[in-house]
Structures are given as structure tokens and as C-alpha cells.
Amino acid sequence: MDVDLIFKIAGLGMIVAVIHIVLDKSGKEEYAYLVTLVGVVIVLGVVINLVSKLFDNVKVLFKLY
Amino acid sequence: MEIFQIVGLGIIATIMIVILKDFRPEFIIFISIITGLIIFSLILNKLVYVVDVMKNLSLKANLEIEYFSIILKIIGMSYIVEFGSQICRDADQNSIAMKIELAGKVSIMILAIPILMSLMDLILKILP
């Protein structure tokens, strides 16, 4: 489990926020929300992958099959 | 040492969350989930060692192994239920957290029923 994942996700969040603001100010609100949605979906994929790995570890550790 | 890394990680993640709070609140939950995951995986191999030691102790005291495995299952289940309900509470969804805890209590109760049965049999045997 690599620690820099937190920084990656936080950085992605900031980038998406900046893009959202830039697009908002330039009058394209739909694309702004689209970019935010894409960012959230990507991070959701990563998080769900890690949560399933955690659940497998707990299942093996506590013999919860 | 391990503990400094964990505390530093928690503080950094909290700072990240504060930064992101007013820009994009959607990412706050992700960062808190990921931090919890990484901290748990850091302590995982120590936990395996503790579980092995407890297993050996229960074998040495020649307790039935299935009681210990039931206790282990209950501990694991309570950890998962706590993990899920705390995440929901972070997102201010107390009702969902309550539902998860209710389901966890019911499933732990179901796991504990065999132990209750054997206790009852023991008591009935003791009574004249």
C-alpha cells in the first residue's frame, strides 16, 4: 500500500477544482461539471479497488469466509 | 518507528482535506477512506502476529478451536462494521451508519448463538 496515493488523489482533486473554476469562468458550466464527474469517477474506481483489497485482507485475517 | 509514520500520515491527510473542503467537497470522503485503508494495512502484519499468538495460547489451554474462531470472526466483523459506519458518519449520513451498525449487531448475534447454546447445555448439566 503506497502512501503517495493520498497525495495523488488530493492533487487530482485540486486539478479538477481548478479546471472546474476555469471552465466556469469561461462560460462553459456543462463541461465544468463533466470534468468534475470524470474526476470523481476515476478516484472512485481507485478507492473501490483498494476497499476490496482491504476486505480480502480482513477476510483472510479473521477467517470470515 | 511505525507509529510516527501513521500519525504523520493522518495529519497530512487532514490538512489535505481542509484545503479541499471549499473547492471540491466530493474528494474529502475519498481521502479519508484512503487514509484509513493505508493505516490499517500498515498495522495488518502486526495484527496477524497477535492473532497467531492468541491462537497458540488458546490451543495450549486446550480450549475448543471453534470458540476462538467464532471470537475472531466477531472481532473482524465488528471492525468492518465500524469502518463502514464511521465513513458514513463522516459524510453526515447518520441514518445509514445506524443501519449498518444494526445489521452488524444482528450478524454478530447470529454468530454468537452456538456459544449461548453450549453455555445453556453446560448450566443444565450442572443443575441437579
Residue B124, domain member (yes or no): yes
Number of separate helices (H) and strands (E) present in chain B: 4, 0
| Number of separate domains in chain A | 1
| Number of separate domains in chain B | 2
pLDDT for B1 = 65
B27/A51 touch (CB, cutoff 8 Å), yes or no? no
Residue B57, domain member (yes or no): no
Q: Which amino acid is at B24?
A: R
B91 inside 8 A of chain A by CB: no
**Is pLDDT of B55 > 70?**
yes
Residue percentage of chain B with pLDDT more than 90: 55
> What global pTM score does this model have?
0.83
- Domain encompassing residue B27: 1-46
Per residue in A27-44, pLDDT (tens digit) is 988 999 999 999 999 999
Same domain, B124 and B69: yes
d(CA B83, CA B100): 10
B44/A7 touch (CB, cutoff 8 Å), yes or no? no
Contacts of A54 in chain B (CB under 8 A): 37, 40-41
d(CA A36, CA A17): 7
d(CA B81, CA B66): 22
Per residue in B90-120, pLDDT (tens digit) is 999 999 999 999 999 999 999 999 999 999 9
Give B55's contacts (C-beta < 8 A, 6+ positions apart).
B65, B68
Question: What ipTM score was computed for the predicted complex, to two decimals?
Answer: 0.81
Same domain, B3 and B30: yes
- Domain encompassing residue A52: 3-62
Residue B122, domain member (yes or no): yes
Which residue in the set B16, B33, B77 is minimally distant from A47, CB to CB? B33
Residue B58, domain member (yes or no): no
